[in-house]
Amino acid sequence: MKDYAEPLARLIDELKRLPGIGQKSAQRIAFHLERAPREDVERLAAAILDAKDKIRLCSVCNNLTELDPCEYCTDPRRDGEVICVVETPYNVIGVEKTREFRGQYHVLHGVLSPLQGIGPDQLKLKNLLERLRSGKVKEIIVATSPTVEGEATAVYLSKLIKPLGVKVSRIAMGVPVGSELEFADEVTMLKAIEGRREM
């Protein structure tokens, strides 16, 4: 005898394919949906399909957007001379939360990771180079994660971009705000010292 009726088992299987959802979470969500009013479930299904149908990549910066070009690329209040390069669309949200950055973005949709078969050809670099060749951009801020892959990507980008006469900077790395120095490892501490600033 099966554990669950076939439609419920299929729903659990589909939910399990989502990132961060295991068997237990999938079961919990499936049972919640089963108990929820029909309108709620329809609204969820419609939202998923709507997002899938309407969201696309911005042809300028590769961010996820409903309108092409996206609002960051078309907003006249944003500085088109500075571009912040990030790994994923949700990194854009992270930078935006600072409310300090008023430039534009470029989303790579990945970082160099040879073990996962991601090389320079797999990154979305073509339209970045087109933007740089237009001559309008003065500075690129590389905001990839402070990991081995993120650092390799940053170095690769700087070697690619500098010959075009554009300034390349890297976000600071080091000790997180609110933590204690005694817990910092040597790489973190070294990066913090390298990236020190005059006061």
Partner 1 sequence: MLTLCICRRVDIGHRMPLLETEAIVLRTYRLGEADKIASLFARQLGRLRAVARGALRPKSRYGGTLEPLSYVRLWIFERENRDLLHLNSAELLESFFDMQKDYHVQLAAQYLAEVAERMLPEREANERAFRLLLTVLRALKRSGEVNRPLLYFDYWMLRLGGFLPDLESCSACGRALGEEGGYYGPGSEGLLCRECRLPGAKQQVSGTALAMVRTACHVPLDRWLAQEKAPPGCREARGFFEEIIETQVERKLITREMMGEEV
Kindly list the residues in this chain that would bind partner 1 in the complex (CB under 8 A).
Answer: 20, 112, 114-117, 119-121, 146-149, 151-152, 155-156, 159, 176, 178-179, 183-188, 191
Between CA 121 and CA 133 the distance in angstroms is 19
Taking the complex as a whole, how short is the minimal distance between the CB of residue 151 and partner 1, in angstroms?
5
For 195, the token pair is 């990236």
- Strands 79-86 vs 56-57: parallel, antiparallel or unpaired: unpaired
Taking the complex as a whole, how short is the minimal distance between the CB of residue 152 and partner 1, in angstroms?
4
**With respect to partner 1, which residue has the nearer C-beta, 6 or 183?**
183
CB burial of residue 32 (10 Å; 0-12, 13-18, 19+): exposed
**With respect to partner 1, which residue has the nearer C-beta, 18 or 67?**
18
For residue 69, cis peptide bond before it (omega within 30 degrees of 0): yes
3-class DSSP assignment, residue 106: strand
**With respect to partner 1, which residue has the nearer C-beta, 41 or 173?**
173
Q: Which residues lie closer than 8 Å to 81 by C-beta, 6 or more apart?
A: 103, 136, 137, 138, 139
Taking the complex as a whole, how short is the minimal distance between the CB of residue 72 and partner 1, in angstroms?
25
**With respect to partner 1, which residue has the nearer C-beta, 33 or 152?**
152
**With respect to partner 1, which residue has the nearer C-beta, 119 or 195?**
119
Taking the complex as a whole, how short is the minimal distance between the CB of residue 199 and partner 1, in angstroms?
23
Taking the complex as a whole, how short is the minimal distance between the CB of residue 148 and partner 1, in angstroms?
5
